[in-house]
């Protein structure tokens, strides 16, 4: 392995790990393959999307040299963009809800970002970022983009997000599994990881099944009733009825996970597998376990370990 010219070269090609002991301990048949994207430089899968968006934007002339970049974030995309922008000479402004953990804001500032924190909507709880909270962050991000004549990374719409996962995450998972995957499940945030990864996997195995994971009580993508838009699984599950990046992406099924299930599974990952991950990784593995207990029994399910547990030390994930 050769040395990279900068930290940007270390994005992607994260290792994958089988969760055989965790599966066997629950008496299930089948396998779960986890892609350890919390080992990216910014401690999350969003490093891939940040690079994909900036690469595509620069190539298409949307992003000028030295231009300011602005984006709304739950912390992970902001961290990835902070790293990329610092290396490429772009000032970066991260706009984030105060409902997200403070560790994320501190990390982005340490990496050179300007962080603008937006108050939560009335009735929202710290640690539980709802669609209403995200709408306030979106409003602030649009205002700052206009004021500073900035490039808006727009992770919920920019095709570079999904394209990054189609070109890297999906092929890596397929190669790491030895071509054995039968399903992929992913907690829906922007939709870019799911859309890009499932396209790459189905191009290699059309019969492979893709499942979108949402929080119980906020399963808007599956057409369910939104009874609890606030939940502890930060980084997704915003109860949005449609996500532009998911348009045209094949979905074979939907799963719901409670906050308690995501929390318990993240803790089990730490204790039983030595994987110190966040809420959404817990949701993904909980969904994969449900699949092995049901329609994917005996199969091989791939999931992403989205980010590091270090980003949640101030939350109730780690009491």
- Active-site positions? 46, 280
Whose tokens are 């920019």? That residue is 158
Q: Contact at 8 Å (CB) between 108 and 75? A: yes
3-state SS class at 174? helix
Q: For residues 269 and 271, give the distance between their C-alpha atoms in angstroms, rounded to a whole number.
A: 6
Cβ neighbours of residue 167 under 8 Å, at least 6 residues apart?
52, 196, 200
Alpha helices in 36-130 (DSSP H): 46-59, 76-88, 102-110
By DSSP bridging, strand 183-187 and strand 209-215 are parallel
Whose tokens are 């992406």? That residue is 249
Q: For residues 70 and 81, give the distance between their C-alpha atoms in angstroms, rounded to a whole number.
A: 9
Cβ neighbours of residue 169 under 8 Å, at least 6 residues apart?
12, 35, 37, 45, 48, 193, 196, 197, 200, 304
Helices 46-59, 76-88: inter-axial angle, 10-degree rounding = 50
DSSP state string for 240-289? -S--GGGTT----EEEEE-HHHHHHHHHHIIIII---B-HHHHHHHHHHH
- Strands (DSSP E) found in 43-199: 69-72, 92-97, 114-118, 151-152, 183-187
Q: For residues 78 and 289, give the distance between their C-alpha atoms in angstroms, rounded to a whole number.
A: 30
């Amino acid at each position: 392995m050769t040395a990279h010219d900068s930290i940007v070269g270390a994005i992607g090609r994260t290792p994958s790990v089988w969760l055989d002991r965790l599966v066997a301990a629950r008496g299930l048949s089948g396998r779960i393959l986890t892609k350890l994207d919390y080992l990216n430089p910014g401690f999350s899968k969003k490093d891939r999307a940040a690079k994909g968006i900036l690469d595509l934007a620069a190539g298409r002339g949307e992003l000028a040299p030295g231009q300011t970049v602005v984006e709304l974030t739950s912390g992970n995309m902001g961290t990835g963009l902070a790293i990329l922008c610092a290396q490429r000479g772009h000032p970066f402004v991260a706009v984030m809800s105060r409902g997200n953990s403070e560790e994320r804001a501190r990390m982005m500032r340490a990496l050179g970002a300007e962080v603008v924190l937006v108050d939560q909507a009335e009735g929202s709880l710290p640690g539980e970022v709802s669609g209403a909270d995200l709408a306030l962050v979106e409003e602030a991000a649009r205002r700052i983009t206009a004021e500073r004549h900035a490039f808006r990374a727009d992770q919920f719409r920019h095709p570079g997000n999904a394209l990054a996962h189609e070109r890297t995450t999906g092929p890596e998972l397929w190669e790491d599994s030895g071509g054995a995957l039968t399903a992929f499940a992913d907690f829906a945030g922007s939709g870019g990881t799911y859309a890009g990864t499932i396209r790459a996997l189905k191009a290699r195995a059309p019969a492979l099944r893709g499942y979108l994971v949402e929080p119980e009580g906020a399963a808007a993508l599956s057409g369910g009733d939104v009874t609890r838009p606030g939940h502890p699984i930060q980084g997704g599950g915003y109860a949005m009825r449609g996500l532009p990046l998911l348009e045209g992406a094949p979905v074979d099924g939907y799963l719901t996970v409670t906050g308690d299930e995501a929390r318990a599974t993240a803790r089990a990952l730490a204790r039983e597998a030595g994987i110190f991950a966040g809420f959404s990784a817990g949701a993904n593995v909980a969904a994969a376990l449900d699949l092995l207990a049901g329609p994917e029994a005996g199969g091989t399910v791939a999931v992403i370990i989205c980010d590091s547990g270090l980003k949640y030390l101030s939350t109730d994930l780690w009491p």
